[in-house]
Amino acid sequence: MKNIVLFAIPPLAGALAGLCIAFIAVKIIFRLTGKIKKNILKEAEKQYPAAADSCIEFLRQKEMRQKLEKAGLQFLTDVIQKLNIFQRLFISAARFDVTLSQQMPGIIDNLIDKTQNLLAQDLIRQKAMDALESLITRYQGRLKIIAKWVCIFGVVVGFICTVVSMGIFYGLQGL
């Protein structure tokens, strides 16, 4: 019985050492991700005005405006198709659909201006920062799952390495 206990102690110690090393690595990773998260959010807060301006510049590009106008016309068509026959008849008779189609470039300009105003509001800025923080937190949650597996892996590797080294040690003693 004494030999079994003596033989079992080193692998358990190796497993414990593997767990400790994995635990330390996980703690370091969590500490780093916490700091990284703070830095990302701090930088995003500083860069938000420039990012919002870049979005508006993107929307104002000729090719993008054309795509927005096309999408706007498709949206209008879809809305009109959802109306009943009498409503569609009224819109056609009054030529509202043609008027709206002709006004689409101005409608898109108005939409971009309204978007720019929205992006400048503190509430929208805060909501964007909250969404970014939520995204980072979600990935940190995934990291915690990975960290648990790292701990398990550390235990298994520590145990196996100790058993193998003991086998080599006892095998060399037999020579």
Per residue in 51-66, pLDDT (tens digit) is 999 999 999 999 999 9
Total tally of structural domains belonging to the chain = 1
Q: What are the helix (H) ranges across 82-121?
A: 85-94, 96-120
Boundaries of domain holding 55? 2-174
Q: Rounded CA gap, 38 and 132, in Å? A: 11
What is the residue type of 57? Answer: E
71-122 pLDDT, tens per residue?
A: 988 988 888 888 888 888 887 777 777 787 888 899 899 999 999 999 999 9
